[in-house]
A and B are shown apart, each in its own frame.
Chain A
């Protein structure tokens, strides 16, 4: 009511958040609600995708946020912390809890936690069509009554129920529908402890209770939630409350023989299970559909692997054949622009023309003709793989092998992509759950030889030394990837996470969703990466034009000639190679006839190009995904590896060949 008094009737604003498990259809509902009116980005400082959009409905301007998919609201993953902080701190007007009707019990686990957070929840009971196919029918009224919140059945892919959902959201926001949410109560022993801690929390840290519900804080500290525990330490009496909670937790643990979070999870699941049983009727026994048959063969002990290889080859051809076609097409389309710009700018001094044309426009051109043609097909394929449900199957097959690198199955996808182009590969690393895993995967991916580095290896070593030497370099690279991956795995702090992954049923991907996802992600990439590519290109051109590059190469001489045993002129191509790696070879050949290099020099040059500093586009992607600190760290490590391995190779090979 207050809302209406304060604002003009036609511009009432609402903030709505979508929360739910992964793969329930949140993104589809989000797209149904907002259409193309959406921005995809990252949560501030986090590698978690944030999609936000607006819609207009009956005089309301509704801002919708698609929260990351989570199974719980504990502090396990970044996604969970992002979601619950948004719900608790930003306090959106309504939370739409999207629920998969075909897996009600597991989904209710999150619903109960939303109710613990005392959030205003409306449930979208989605995928009722799919549930019906499995013979699952849910009594909507009964579910709504038991939870004390509105429940709207929906089929997101057809848009059925979306209008009712919106009407319900608005009615809840303006108070026409009163919520009477289920008060989540645990068994007597747990409940007693929760209430005692809650009382203490209310007395001792009232400031924190202004943000989070007191009962919720109590539950979280009883579960020893790292995030809340560390927040509590900021308060004067926090330590006292924590000590008390710890005592209560260990009493519970003694009684049950389980850690307190397991006890609470069990309690929530028993409530969820009771509600699910009460409202579900199982009808005809499900028939084996094409989804199950596809699942059986694609995860088959033997057949699964040739299928996986086939999928990877298809993915490669699509990304890299399609990409190089697009790339040369765009190049021929825009090829003349650069010389035309130089003509247009002819009235300016020569140096200025060069800086503007080569630096600024050269950078933009590189972005358009090198990065985008590979990234767009990649985004399309990623969306297809995500939407169909194949990604978890590939992870299932490759889990064991990836453990050797200190990662688990999911990292396989970005690693393979890395052989094509590091940029999509780095972005693909976001499918890893924890910061730790993401960092290891991204680091490893920057070391995988991409297509541009393959050009250098084949064009130099393969051509002049022989294919066997090129192949040996590849094998050497693979070995190094494994070794460095293991080192990173050992060196980085944090508990390694084994594979715990849902295997959602196969679905027919929807073209509309694939295209919308591709469009939003491409837009986001252009905004972030282009400025960096242009800045890098500008800086190097300026160094060149002003003659500073001469100083740089003289300065680098001890390293290039002394340590690596390369001709002094190799410095310039290596610097320009940062823009794009195949450029290093092209420039090198312009400076020195490649035949005149010794075998050792060729191999060392290829090794250095393989490992030293990621190219600008990759650095842009790294910044986008990891922030500048980790990007710097990866870059520095890569440079060190290149110098170390290059220098050692020079000495060892010289010995052997002599």
Chain B
């Protein structure tokens, strides 16, 4: 799979990062950082999307609609714009789903 490499500041630009929206359905990733406005980043953190947390992309809505993710045992819907601001490191999944 091809991913857009995200380049930015220091510590994490050597790792393979992608936007949450770029995960495939059923794929997992670990949140590295959320980019975007102060209010958005804060809201995401409060809903449990903090750096270092594992998320699973459950479903992508059609027509560029929102994505459904599972984080901390809860299902959340994130608008495409919101989700594209969450950068994750994909987890090489060895288990079945």
Contact = CB atoms under 8 A, between A and B. Distances in A.
Interface of A: 71-72, 74, 76, 102-106, 109, 257-259, 261-262, 265-266, 269, 273, 299, 301-302, 392, 395-397, 399-401, 403, 408-409, 495, 497-505
Contacts of B46: 71-72, 74, 76, 109, 261, 265
B42 A397 contact: no
Interface in B25-75: 33-34, 37-48, 50-53, 59, 61-66, 68, 72-75
A76 B76 contact: no
B11 interface: yes
Contacts of B64: 400
A258 B51 CA distance: 9
A404 to B, nearest CB: 11
A569 B43 CA distance: 56
Given A396-B65, A397-B65, A399-B61, A498 B78 contact: yes
A301 B48 contact: no
Q: Which 7 A-B pairs have the closest CB atoms?
A: A499-B79, A265-B45, A498-B79, A498-B82, A266-B50, A301-B62, A503-B75
A72 B45 CA distance: 10
B51 to A, nearest CB: 6
Contacts of A498: 40, 78-79, 81-82
28 contacts: A71-B47, A76-B42, A76-B46, A102-B73, A103-B73, A103-B74, A109-B48, A257-B9, A257-B10, A257-B11, A261-B41, A261-B46, A262-B42, A262-B50, A265-B42, A273-B72, A395-B77, A396-B65, A397-B61, A397-B65, A400-B80, A401-B63, A403-B81, A495-B37, A497-B40, A503-B68, A504-B75, A505-B75
Given A76-B39, A259-B38, A266-B45, A396 B51 contact: no
Contact of A500 (B9, B10, B50, B79): B79
Interface residues of B, number: 40
Contacts of B48: 105-106, 109, 269
B59 A299 contact: yes
A403 B82 CA distance: 12
A109 B9 CA distance: 30
Contact of B77 (A76, A102, A499, A505): A499
B81 A500 contact: no
A399 B79 contact: yes
B43 A503 contact: no
Given A266-B52, A400-B66, 15 more contacts: A74-B42, A105-B73, A106-B74, A261-B42, A269-B48, A269-B72, A299-B61, A396-B61, A399-B80, A401-B63, A409-B77, A497-B39, A499-B79, A499-B82, A505-B75
Interface of B: 9-11, 33-34, 37-48, 50-53, 59, 61-66, 68, 72-82
A83 to B, nearest CB: 14
Given A269-B53, A396-B65, A400-B64, A106 B78 contact: no
Nearest to A110: B46
A400 B42 contact: no
A401 B65 CA distance: 8
A186 to B, nearest CB: 13
Given A76-B46, A299-B59, A495-B37, A396 B73 contact: no
A72 B38 CA distance: 16
A71 B71 CA distance: 14
Contacts of A397: 61, 65
Nearest to B83: A498
Nearest to A401: B63
B11 to A, nearest CB: 7
Contacts of B63: 400-401
A506 to B, nearest CB: 11
A258 B34 CA distance: 9
Contacts of B82: 498-500
A245 to B, nearest CB: 16
Nearest to A393: B77
Contacts of A403: 79, 81
A409 B51 contact: no
A502 B33 CA distance: 21
Nearest to B42: A261
B63 to A, nearest CB: 5
Contact of A103 (B40, B43, B72, B80): B72
A74 B59 CA distance: 29
Contacts of B50: 262, 265-266, 269
Contacts of B79: 399, 403, 408-409, 498-500
A301 B66 CA distance: 11
Contacts of B66: 396, 399-400, 409, 499
Given A261-B45, A495-B37, A500 B52 contact: no
A396 B82 CA distance: 13
Contacts of B76: 500-503
A259 B42 contact: yes
Contacts of B73: 102-106
Nearest to A504: B75
A419 to B, nearest CB: 22
A301 B62 CA distance: 5
B93 to A, nearest CB: 17
Given A301-B61, A301-B62, A408-B79, A262 B37 contact: no
Nearest to A105: B72
Contacts of A396: 61, 65-66, 68, 77
Best-surrounded residue of A261, A400, A500 (most CB of chain B within 10 A): A500
Contacts of B80: 399-400
Contact of B41 (A257, A262, A505): A262
Contacts of B65: 396-397, 399-400
